[in-house]
């Protein structure tokens, strides 16, 4: 089964945990995700199944939108609420100090008593645009081929070089005591944990990311997301219908299973049919690429890996080719004029 489904990732799960859970729910191994979320974070985690896992190459630089809470007063070694408070030279928990791997010696500009909505809103503007950002020591960034988090867990020194990231929007929405609610829209590779940590340095009190929720990534939004429990329950409800006495031909076709299944196992086809209405419509994928509907002859040529003429799309660099309304046949690349060559060809059973 090929498709894209948006999961509302729960806190405490790694992105790989969600992938493994979905593999069990769907009864198939070919499942991947389109962008890692930290265990602390919740929200939009797009999953791709079947041959559509090959779409991942188009989402490596996707823009992301977050909402979250920064807590001032102390920093942590992970830059978020999962970490341990960092001790300063004065022996107090993380007052004006940097966690390992972040430049020290910055002069505090504010104090915790100065926190106000206006103050933090002004401070947030310093992070807008292209900036140099030091990744958290507990991150997947590699040092001589070793992920930084593995070194950090062993209490070894972690020194990461600043990288250029882009923060397109960073708005402090409200301040309640030592907590600031924010919304941010960022380019790929931006760590909101580092933003929280550096704001704490500027304030002089230390800070960490207390919570984070991803509300959008690329074209996918939180309104499209489903919890793991909702997805699993949806399939179980469908299988209950299939276990009931068939009523008419349509019901029988809907619940028909593939021949040769293992006795006692749930039918693969009925399990998949029970989830297709939760998948993102294929026409909504990669909206930056124009779509074209191919006739039977053109579809056959594309499936054979042969170039085709698409005269209406002479200005496009890449296009999505469909057969009918839902069947994604290929992503094709223009090679000359109106001649397109299939870059990726998908099997005929795309959801």
Q: Answer yes or no: 38 catalytic.
A: yes
Partners of 2 in the β-ladder = 350
Q: Is 174 helix (H, G, I), strand (E, B) or coil?
A: strand
Radius of gyration of the chain (CA): 24
Asked if residue 201 lies in contact with residue 210, where contact means CB atoms within 8 angstroms, the answer is no
Collapsing DSSP to helix, strand or coil, 77 comes out as: coil
For residues 94 and 315, what is the distance between their CA atoms, to the nearest angstrom? 56
Active-site option among 8, 17, 38, 349: 38
The string of DSSP letters for 322-335 reads: EETTTEEEEEEEEE
Beta-bridge mates of residue 220: 217
Strand pairing partners for 347?
none
CA distance 252 to 34: 36
Q: Which residues contact 131 (CB under 8 A, 6 or more apart)?
A: 164, 165, 166, 167
Give the CA count within 13 Å in the CB-facing half-sphere of 62. 26
Residue 85 DSSP code:
B
Question: Coil, helix or strand for 342?
Answer: strand
Please give the positions annotated as active site.
38
């Amino acid at each position: 089964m090929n498709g894209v489904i948006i999961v509302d990732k729960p806190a405490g799960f790694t992105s790989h945990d969600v992938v493994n859970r979905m593999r069990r729910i769907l009864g198939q191994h070919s499942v991947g995700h389109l962008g890692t979320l930290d265990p602390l974070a919740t929200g939009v985690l797009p999953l791709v199944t079947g041959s559509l896992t090959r779409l991942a190459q188009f989402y490596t630089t996707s823009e992301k939108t977050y909402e979250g809470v920064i807590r001032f007063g102390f920093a942590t070694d992970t830059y978020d609420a999962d970490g341990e408070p960092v001790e300063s030279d004065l022996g107090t928990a993380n007052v004006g100090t940097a966690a390992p791997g972040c430049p020290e010696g910055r002069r505090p500009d504010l104090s915790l008593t100065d926190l106000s909505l206006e103050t933090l809103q002004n401070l947030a503007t310093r992070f807008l645009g292209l900036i140099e950002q030091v990744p958290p020591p507990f991150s997947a960034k590699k040092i001589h081929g070793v992920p930084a988090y593995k070194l950090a867990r062993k209490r070894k020194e972690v020194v990461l070089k600043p990288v250029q990231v882009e923060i397109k929007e960073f708005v402090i929405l409200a301040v309640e005591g030592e907590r600031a609610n924010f919304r941010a829209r960022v380019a790929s590779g931006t760590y909101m944990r580092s933003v929280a940590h550096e704001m704490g340095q500027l304030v002089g009190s230390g800070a960490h990311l207390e919570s984070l929720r991803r509300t959008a990534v690329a074209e996918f939004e939180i309104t499209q997301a489903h919890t793991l429990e909702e997805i699993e329950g949806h399939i179980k409800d469908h299988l209950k219908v299939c276990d009931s006495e068939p009523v008419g031909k349509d019901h029988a076709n809907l619940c028909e299973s593939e021949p040769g299944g293992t006795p006692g196992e749930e039918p693969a086809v009925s399990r998949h049919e029970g989830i297709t209405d939760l998948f993102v419509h294929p026409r909504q994928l990669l909206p930056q690429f124009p779509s074209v509907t191919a006739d039977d002859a053109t579809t056959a040529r594309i499936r054979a890996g042969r170039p085709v003429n698409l005269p209406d799309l002479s200005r496009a660099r890449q296009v999505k080719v469909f057969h009918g309304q839902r069947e994604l046949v290929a992503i094709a690349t223009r090679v000359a004029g109106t001649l397109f060559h299939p870059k990726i060809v998908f099997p005929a059973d795309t959801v």
